[in-house]
Amino acid sequence: MFSYKQALDYLDSHINYEVKPERVAPSLRRMQRLAHLLGDPQATYPIIHVTGTNGKGSTCRMISALVASKGLSVGTYSSPHVEDIRERISYNLEPISESDMARVLYSVSLTEELMQEKLTFFEILTAAAFLFFADAAVEVGVIEVGMGGTWDTTNIADGQVAVITNVSEDHLEILGPTIEDVAREKVGIIKDISSVVLGSNDPLLVSMARGKASSSDLLIANEDFGFSANYGAYGGRYLDLWTPRANYPKVLLSLHGVYQGENAATAVAAVETFFDSELSQQVVEDAFSQLSFKGRVEIIQRHPLVILDAAHNPAGIKALVQTVEEEFFISGKRIVIVGLLKGRDVSQIVEPLGGDFSQRIIVCEPSSPRALPGELLVQQFQKVAKETLLASSVDNAIELAMSMASEEDLILITGSFYLIGTARSILSKQNQ
């Protein structure tokens, strides 16, 4: 049996494409073999399978909260994590314990010995999640795709409901080169048994989804479900949601951002579809009023106001800038700390954060081999920002921002999950 440290050492001894992404021959054969040796745990509970370029993590958490609010046990598998890898595997929205993580990773390690090929980091974690949920006898599994869909490790599971939040240009170096390629990968999670919920009415996505699902099993945002009201409230937003089955007026969602209203409507439509019935107003209110999500427009400190958000692609950055401008009114200035990974469309990320949005940009490099060199990001910001500084580390960036900020200012920390995780740990310790 592994100790928790031994379990993490075992996991870290395998190749991790999150750290070093590359195109590999598409195949689920190894994952299917591993799952079969484990007894195909992913087939022992019904699954809601979620993919999309942005919003899939929030949508998964909302779906899980709705299922739990109905009184059912729910297992959620998501990625990446912000601070602790146990965040990726949860039971009723609580991270897996260290002892349970060690136990399921040990089981996977024994099974790997029976295989002829070495597994990957994500394959091991996915198998561990499927196994843990089977052992815990969850009544519903909510599974977030890591990247893409068709060839993602999670796609050995068959979703009773397949959810696609949206499609935009991200990970083109792996899933592309075109947006059509990305969309084709996303709709790959649709199986013969799947009812489909689309969180976007983008014509490309709708067309491809219709090619995989019957029209009677397809719900489309703003056509079959959506919101008639979505406005800011203290601590989140108020929503009036509508679906083919019901209306849910004046629901408090304890998350910031207009786009979270879109995710909420998608989550409600997905859960209604799963149960083939409407939800009660109380279930929706209870699920959404107490939601929290690390690193998603998360207020970590006040005076100065410090917000963390792992926006790392153009669509995410635009949504974040809109949220900050519309929901956080300050009398002082905005200071932005940002760090990115290679492979991003830097120009489309830099522009919204510069100009009149911020008075100062502090660039730092995330703790990752894939970190975009700070000097290159500084060069891009100097074209659009009023003032740009380069920090030697995340710690140094936070120290610089704090020394420059008054109590009326806002410090926005955004970019890579690696940056957000490090910054959150530093600030949490400082604020204890």
Residue by residue, pLDDT tens for the chain (432 residues) are 999 999 999 999 999 988 776 667 788 999 999 999 999 999 999 999 999 999 999 999 999 999 999 999 999 999 999 999 999 999 999 999 999 999 999 999 999 999 989 999 999 999 999 999 999 999 999 999 999 999 999 999 999 999 999 998 766 666 767 889 999 999 999 999 999 999 999 999 999 999 888 767 999 999 999 999 999 998 899 999 999 999 999 999 999 999 999 999 999 999 999 999 999 999 999 999 999 999 999 999 999 999 999 998 898 999 999 999 999 999 999 999 999 998 777 888 999 999 999 999 999 999 998 899 999 999 999 999 999 999 999 999 999 999 999 999 999 999 999 999 999 999 998 876
Residues 339 and 215 in one domain: no
Query: Which residue is it, tokens 């395998």?
Result: 14
Name 95's bridge partners. Answer: 90
Same domain, 251 and 326: no
- Tell me, yes or no, whether 316 and 380 share the same domain: yes
Q: Identify the H or E element spanning 195.
A: strand 195-198
Q: How far apart are CA 300 and CA 287, in angstroms?
A: 22
Instruction: Print burial letters for 308-333: b (CB count within 10 Å at least 16), e (below 16).
Output: bbbbbbbbbbbbbbebbeebbeeeeb
How high is the pLDDT of residue 176?
Answer: 65
Query: How many domains does the chain fold into?
Result: 2
Query: In this structure, are residues 98 and 86 in contact, taking their beta carbons and an 8 Å threshold?
Result: yes
What local confidence, expressed as pLDDT, does residue 174 receive?
65
In degrees and rounded to multiples of 5, residue 143 shows phi and psi of -120, 120
What is the pairing mode between strands 161-164 and 47-51?
A: parallel
Q: Which of 295, 310, 398, 312 lies closest to 349 in space, CA to CA? A: 312
305 and 267, same structural domain?
no
Could you report how far apart the first and last alpha carbons of the chain are, in Å?
35
Same domain, 218 and 162: yes
What CATH number did the domain enclosing 376 receive?
3.90.190.20
Range of the domain at 357: 298-430
Query: Rounded distance, CA 14 to CA 220, Å?
Result: 39
Longest dimension (CA), the chain: 63
Nearest one of 72, 68, 86 to 137, comparing CA atoms: 72
344 and 250 co-located in one domain: no
Enumerate residues 6+ apart whose C-beta is below 8 A from 153: 28, 31, 120, 122, 123, 126, 146
228, 210: one domain: yes
Q: How many whole angstroms separate alpha carbon 80 and alpha carbon 110?
A: 25
- Classified as helix, coil or strand, 365 is coil
Look at residues 228, 255, 289 and tell me which one is the last residue of a structural domain. Answer: 289
> Is cis: bond before 177, omega within 30 of 0?
yes
Domain termination site, one of 289, 322, 348: 289
Last residue of a domain, one of 266, 289, 312: 289
Domain shared by 268 and 126, yes or no: yes
Q: What is the pLDDT of residue 173?
A: 65
Tokens of 309: 């958000």
Tokens 């998350």 belong to 255
Whether residues 144 and 67 share a domain: the answer is yes
Considering the domain architecture, whether residues 181 and 220 belong to the same structural domain is answered as: yes
User: In this structure, what DSSP letter does residue 276 have?
Assistant: T
pLDDT at 171 (0 to 100): 62
> HSE-up of 346 (CA within 13 Å, CB side)?
21
* Shared domain check, 422 and 311: yes
CATH code of the domain covering residue 36: 3.40.1190.10
Q: How far is CA 137 from CA 19, 84, 131, in A?
A: 32, 24, 10
Same domain, 307 and 237: no
